[in-house]
């Protein structure tokens, strides 16, 4: 018998709803594929440069902070299982449209910026794997634009096709990490690796605490992604039932993989060498398994980066769709294709923004840190929102997190977003520019809505995407 949400008729005066196609398996792969990817493949060496051999420790701390925040997301997504995630929770908790828009813009910007950076990384890896002498100019940009165009086509085909592509890409990127862990186990068995390094601290001129905190701020970029899944709530079957166990299982699995990969990496390659270049895991495979075809591992890395881009663009387009249906963005962006049931204008809008970033911004060294900074600010707001919304009761049963967790989560995320966590000023400048763009767009949106006699940010029935 078909699920009621899948057979619901569309009245002529309504836009069609999104199609519920994601069960527990697809949702788990979505979470795992979103958290794994560019971060673990690129950041291991950078984290090692901050702390030395205990490279696994910042990943572990970042995982714990992410896990605490995930409990807050679980309470909210099972309480309000609609698209738009943090933006919806912020508006329900505080009722300030300007704050809601900034949170939504920060989340959307982090997704689009991350996907655009992944596109540039894909281009660079493609040039290296296939021996293309493209330099850093127009060739890399054109490949990046073509890649983003392909991601948009997959997204336009439908969430079913998108998450199936995510299944394939997630399996490929997992295979790369399994190779690294297998190489580490082999080294442990034959005695080639030096596992004594995993307890060595080397924080340079910084204290141990300062070094670990700074490294955790970097490692947190590798742990973000789980929050994207709440924007898929309207395309999940029985979200209130499946979200808690699936999201927690996904985070536990990725956290374990990160720790094992980082231990394998440092056992085979010293921290000073691991921090050189942009392909730390490639160095690990080369050191532990010299006979392994490195070109194949380079292709796996490309697929991992591609998965990051696909999931981030999937999230960003659904966020724009949800905000449009709520009256925060122009109504055009909330339209859904009658047959494909995909938010076509929202997909085209987010893809256009990504094209602009790939063309005019390119690879910004501090972009990963800025993405983490923006999301840490969002997570702080979400952890506070879950406490504020305890006064808002709903008829349906939902997950409830212990009160102490959102309190600890708000404090931890807030601290990691401050300069006390060792963040360079450049990240704050980039974040300020992005939020400044958001303020301009907010003013334009208010003006457009007023000229059309439409109220901005009114939450009719408290739902996004109805």
Whose tokens are 């910084």? That residue is 206
- pLDDT of the residue at 4: 39
Q: Write down the mean pLDDT value for the chain.
A: 80
83: which 2 tokens? 């698209």
Mean pLDDT lowest among 96-110, 163-177, 255-269:
163-177
Residues 6+ positions from 359 with CB-CB distance below 8 Å: 141, 145
Give yes or no for a contact between 211 and 57, defined as CB atoms under 8 angstroms apart: no
- pLDDT of the residue at 136: 55
- pLDDT of the residue at 464: 39
Sign of the CA dihedral with 28 first, then 29, 35, and 41 last: positive
| pLDDT over 70 percentage in the chain | 84
Which one of 189-193, 329-333, 337-341 scores highest in mean pLDDT?
189-193
Half-sphere exposure of 179 (CA within 13 A, CB side): 26
- pLDDT of the residue at 429: 84
Residues 6+ positions from 39 with CB-CB distance below 8 Å: 221, 222, 223, 224, 368
C-alpha separations of 361 from 68, 144, 311, 453, 463 in Å: 34, 12, 21, 36, 35
- pLDDT of the residue at 159: 62
- When pLDDT is cut at 50, 70 and 90, the band that residue 404 belongs to is very high
- pLDDT of the residue at 300: 87
3-state secondary structure 307-323: HHHHHHHHHHHHHHHHH
pLDDT at 212 over 80: yes
Which of 158, 64, 115 is CA-nearest to residue 409? 64
- pLDDT of the residue at 84: 59
pLDDT at 384 over 90: yes
Q: pLDDT for 249-300, tens place per residue?
A: 999 999 999 999 999 999 999 998 888 766 788 888 888 888 888 788 888 8
- When pLDDT is cut at 50, 70 and 90, the band that residue 8 belongs to is very low
The ranges assigned to domains in the chain are 23-459
Give yes or no for a contact between 117 and 110, defined as CB atoms under 8 angstroms apart: no
Sign of the CA dihedral with 155 first, then 157, 159, and 163 last: negative
Q: pLDDT for 118-156, tens place per residue?
A: 887 788 777 767 777 665 568 778 888 999 999 999 888
Helix, strand, coil tally for the chain in percent (to 5) = 75, 0, 25
- Better-predicted residue by pLDDT, 292 or 384: 384
C-alpha–C-alpha distance, residues 163 and 19, integer Å? 13
Give yes or no for a contact between 326 and 464, defined as CB atoms under 8 angstroms apart: yes
- When pLDDT is cut at 50, 70 and 90, the band that residue 72 belongs to is very high
Query: What is the pLDDT averaged over residues 349-374?
Result: 77
- pLDDT of the residue at 161: 61
Which one of 111-115, 182-186, 457-461 scores highest in mean pLDDT?
182-186
Query: What is the pLDDT averaged over residues 362-387?
Result: 83
Which one of 76-90, 197-211, 326-340 scores highest in mean pLDDT?
197-211
Give yes or no for a contact between 267 and 52, defined as CB atoms under 8 angstroms apart: no
C-alpha–C-alpha distance, residues 77 and 240, integer Å? 7
Architecture category of domain 23-459 in CATH: Up-down Bundle (1.20)
C-alpha separations of 42 from 48, 123, 198, 279 in Å: 11, 15, 19, 6
Residues 6+ positions from 47 with CB-CB distance below 8 Å: 55, 58, 59, 215, 218, 219, 262
Q: Look at residue 456 and give its three-state secondary structure.
A: coil
- pLDDT of the residue at 68: 95
Query: What is the pLDDT averaged over residues 23-28?
Result: 78
């Amino acid at each position: 018998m078909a699920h009621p949400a899948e057979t619901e008729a569309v009245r002529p005066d309504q836009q069609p709803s999104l199609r519920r196609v994601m069960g527990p398996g697809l949702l788990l792969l979505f979470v795992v594929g979103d958290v794994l990817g560019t971060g673990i493949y690129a950041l291991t060496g950078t984290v090692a440069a901050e702390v030395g051999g205990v490279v696994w420790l910042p990943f572990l701390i970042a995982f714990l902070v992410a896990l605490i925040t995930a409990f807050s997301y679980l309470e909210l997504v099972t309480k309000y299982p609609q698209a738009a995630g943090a933006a919806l929770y912020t508006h329900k908790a505080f009722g300030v449209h300007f704050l809601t828009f900034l949170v939504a813009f920060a989340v959307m910007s982090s997704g689009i910026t991350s996907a655009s950076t992944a596109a540039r990384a894909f281009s660079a890896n493609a040039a290296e794997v296939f021996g293309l002498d493209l330099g850093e100019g127009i060739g890399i940009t054109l490949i990046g634009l073509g890649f983003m165009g392909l991601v948009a086509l997959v997204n336009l085909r439908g969430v079913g096709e998108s998450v199936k592509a995510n299944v394939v890409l997630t399996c490929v990127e997992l295979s790369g990490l399994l190779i690294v862990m297998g190489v580490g186990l082999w080294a442990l068995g034959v005695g080639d690796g030096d596992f004594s390094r995993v307890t060595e601290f080397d924080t340079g001129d910084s204290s141990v605490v300062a070094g670990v905190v700074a490294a955790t701020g970097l490692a947190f970029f590798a742990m973000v992604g789980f929050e994207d899944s709440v924007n898929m709530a309207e395309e999940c079957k029985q979200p209130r039932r499946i979200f808690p166990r699936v999201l927690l299982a996904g985070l536990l699995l990725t956290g374990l993989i990160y720790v094992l990969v980082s231990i394998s990496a440092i056992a085979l390659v010293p921290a000073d060498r691991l921090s050189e270049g942009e392909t730390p895991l490639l160095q690990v495979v080369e050191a532990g398994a010299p006979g392994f075809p490195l070109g194949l591992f380079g292709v796996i890395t490309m697929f991992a980066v591609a998965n990051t881009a696909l999931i981030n663009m999937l999230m960003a387009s659904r966020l724009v769709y949800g905000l449009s249906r709520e009256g925060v963005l122009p109504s055009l962006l909330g339209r859904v294709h009658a047959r494909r049931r995909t938010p076509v204008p929202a997909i085209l809008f987010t893809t256009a923004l990504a094209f602009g970033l790939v063309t005019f911004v390119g690879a910004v060294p501090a972009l990963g840190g800025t993405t983490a900074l923006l999301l840490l600010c969002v997570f702080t707001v979400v952890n506070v929102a879950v406490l504020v919304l305890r006064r808002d009761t709903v008829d349906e049963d939902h997950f409830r997190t212990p009160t102490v967790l959102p309190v600890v989560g708000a404090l931890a995320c807030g601290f990691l977003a401050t300069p006390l966590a060792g963040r360079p000023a450049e990240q704050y400048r980039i974040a300020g520019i992005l939020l400044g763009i958001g303020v301009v767009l907010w003013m334009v949106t208010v003006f457009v809505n007023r000229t059309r006699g439409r109220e901005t940010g009114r939450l009719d029935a408290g739902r996004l995407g109805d």
